[in-house]
Amino acid sequence: MRQSAPLERIFSAYRVTLLSVLTLVVCLAMLSLADIFWIQEGRTLTPVGVMRMIAGGVLVLLLLNGYQQVKRALRDAEVEQQARLDSAHRDSLTGVFTRAHFIERMRQHLRPGQALSYLQLDMDNLKVLNDSHGHVAGDAALVHLTRTLHDMLPQALIGRLGGDEFGIAVPGADNRAAMVRLGDLLIARLGEPVAIEGRNIRLSATIGVAMAPADGAEVDVLMAKADLALYKGKRLGRATTIAFEADFLADERHKRFVERELRAAILLNELELHYQPVFASDGKTVLSHEALVRWVHPVRGQMAPSAFIPIAEQSDLIDKLGDWVLRRAAADRVRLGGEGVAVNVSAVQLRRADFALRFAEILQRAGRTGREFTIEITESVPLHPGSVELQNIEKLRALGVLVAIDDFGAGFTSIEYLRRFPFDVLKIDRSYIMHLPGSRVDGLLVSAICKIARSLNVSVVAEGVETPEQLAYLRRAGCEQLQGFLLARPAPLHVLRPLAAPAAAAA
C-alpha cells in the first residue's frame, strides 16, 4: 500500500539524516585507526586527529540539521493531517465546519488564560424566505451569509450549528465592545440587497456574544451564554447584536421557574378562562365571546399573559396551553351562548404540522362543530402559498372555523394579508380606537377599514372601546361589532352567565 505524502516526507528526511550520520561514523572509525598508527610513531597532534575533530563537528551539525528536518516534516504532516480532517468535517452546503468538528476545534483554542470571542448567529425569518421563494433561495442565503463571514473574519473558526444557526470563534479577541460592533457591521452587510433567485433580497440575523475567559472557559458554557444573549436579541426585535450579561442568568432562572410552574398548572388544571363579550353595534346584544387565559399563581398571584405566554412559545408548552384553552372553551360553549367563541392562536402553534388535526379531535371529543369557533391570529403569522401555517388555516376553514386577524393595522402587511388570503373577521387594533374621536387621522383609517371590510363581506370588530364618545363614533363609522371595557370586562363564566343567557335563549 502506498504511504501518504506526509509520511513519505518524514521517512525521507529520516533516511537522509541516518545515511549521512552512518557515513560520517564509518569515516571517523577509519580516521581513528589511522590516528592510532600516527600516535605509535610518537606524534601528539596528527593530521588525522585534526580531520577527526572536523568530522566530529560536521557530525554534530548533521544531527542538528536532521533533527530540524524531521521536526519540520512532522509539523507539516500535522498541518496537512488537520487540513484533511477539516475537509472531511465540512458542511456540504456552506463549506464551514460541521457542529461536532467546530466544537472540537474551538475546544483546542480554549486553553487556560487564552482569550477567545464567541459569536452565535441565527438567521432571522429564513423559514419565511424558504416558504415564499423556495428552499433554493434559502440555501443561497446561507451560502451568501458564510461568504460574508469569511470575508469579514478570514481568521475565525466558523461552524454550522443547525439549519440557520452558526457559531463564530475568534481566537485572541477579548474586547466585548469591539465584538458587538463587529456583529453590528456584519448585520449591516447582510442588510445590503443581494440577488437571490432573480430577486433583490435583504437578509437579517441576530447575534449573541460571549467571551473567554470572562464569561467561561468551557465550550458548553460559552455557547449557552451566547445563546441566552441571542434570544434576548430576538425578544428585543431581532437584527441586533447582544453581549452576554450576568443578569441574563437571573432571567433564565426566572424563565425556567415559570416554565416549570406553568407545566404543573396545566397538568393540575389550575388555569382559568375569562371571556370578554363581543357586542353588536347597539352595545347590548352579545354576539360572541373571546376566550382569554388567566393564571393565578399560588405564590406570585395574578400572572399577566405577557409574563408566561412568550415563555410557553419557546417550548412545547404553547401546544399544551393552546389545547387546554380549546378544551375548556369547548366545554363552556353551551353555557356561553352567542354565536361562537374565539381563541387566540400563536404563530408557533400554527407552525406545527398536526395543529389542525389536534384542533379537530378536541372539538370532536367535546361534541362541538367548527362553525362555533373562531381562531384569532396576528399579522406576524407568515402566510405563504404552501406553508404549514396556511395549510393549517385551510384545514380549519374546511371544518367551518372562522379566521380573524387580531390587532389589524398594527403591523406592516395588513393590506397584503387582505389581498392574498381569505379572512372572516378584522379586529381593528386598539391603538386606532384610543384617540377617537379626537384624532382625525385615526378616524379616517377606522372608517376606511370598515368600508374595505364591507366590500369584502368581512366582519369588523373594534377593540378597546372605553368611552361613550368612542362608541358613538364607531357606530357612525359603520363598525358592526364592538369590544371593550366600556361594554364588558373579561370575566369568568359564572359571572357572564346572566349576560349570556338572553342571547342563548334567543338562539
CATH code at position 479: 3.20.20.450
Same domain? 358 vs 449 = yes
Please name every residue paired with 110 in a beta bridge, in sequence order, or none if there are none: none
Residue that is last in its domain, among 88, 123, 146? 88
What are the start-end ranges of the H helices in 110-218? 126-133, 135-152, 176-190
Which has the closest alpha carbon to 473: 505, 450, 496?
450
Task: Name which residue leads in pLDDT, 463 or 45.
Answer: 463
- Hey, how many other C-beta atoms are within 10 angstroms of the C-beta on 406? 22
- What mean pLDDT comes out for the span 224-231? 89
Domain boundary residue, one of 88, 116, 140: 88
For 391, residues 6+ apart whose C-beta sits below 8 A from its C-beta are 356
- Give the separation between CA 343 and CA 374, rounded to whole angstroms: 6
Query: What pLDDT sits at residue 177?
Result: 92
How many domains is the chain partitioned into structurally? 3
Taking the C-alpha atoms of residue 103 and residue 218, their distance in angstroms, rounded to an integer, is 10
If asked whether residues 312 and 393 sit together in one domain, one would say: yes
Residue 17 lies in a domain: yes
In a domain, 417, yes or no: yes
Tell me if 142 is assigned to some domain: yes
pLDDT for 85:
63
Q: Are residue 223 and residue 366 in the same domain, yes or no?
A: no
239 and 260 within one domain:
no
How far apart CA 247 and CA 132 sit, in angstroms, is: 38
Q: How far apart are CA 331 and CA 336, in angstroms?
A: 10
Query: Cα separation of 421 and 253, whole Å?
Result: 41
144 and 291 share one domain: no
Is the same domain home to 315 and 435? yes
Judge whether 204 lies within some domain: yes
Same domain, 397 and 440: yes
Q: Write down how long the chain is.
A: 507
In angstroms, the CA 299 to CA 320 distance is: 22
The verdict on 139 and 262 lying in the same domain is no
Tell me, what CATH number does 119's domain have?
Answer: 3.30.70.270
Joined grid coordinates for residue 127? 423559514
Strand partners, 322: none
C-alpha cell belonging to residue 437 = 374621536
Same-domain pairing of 277 and 152: no
Residue 94 lies in a domain: no
Domain end among 66, 88, 110: 88
How far apart CA 421 and CA 414 sit, in angstroms, is: 11
Judgement on whether residues 162 and 277 belong to the same structural domain of the protein? no
- Whether the pLDDT of residue 312 is over 80: the answer is yes
Q: Is the pTM of this model over 0.75?
A: no
- Amino acid (one-letter) located at 452: I
157 and 275, same domain (yes or no):
no
351 assigned to some structural domain: yes
The answer to whether residue 93 is domain-embedded is no
293 shares its domain with 412: yes
The answer to whether 430 and 463 are in contact (CB under 8 A) is: yes
Q: Which domain holds residue 77?
A: 5-88
Residues 374-397: pLDDT tens digits? 999 887 676 666 778 888 999 999
pLDDT of 505 > 50? The answer is no
The answer, yes or no, to whether residue 121 has pLDDT greater than 90, is yes
pLDDT digits (tens, 9 = 90+) for 34-72: 555 555 555 554 555 555 556 555 655 655 666 566 667
Q: Is residue 26 assigned to a domain?
A: yes
Give the whole-angstrom CA distance, residue 379 versus residue 411: 6
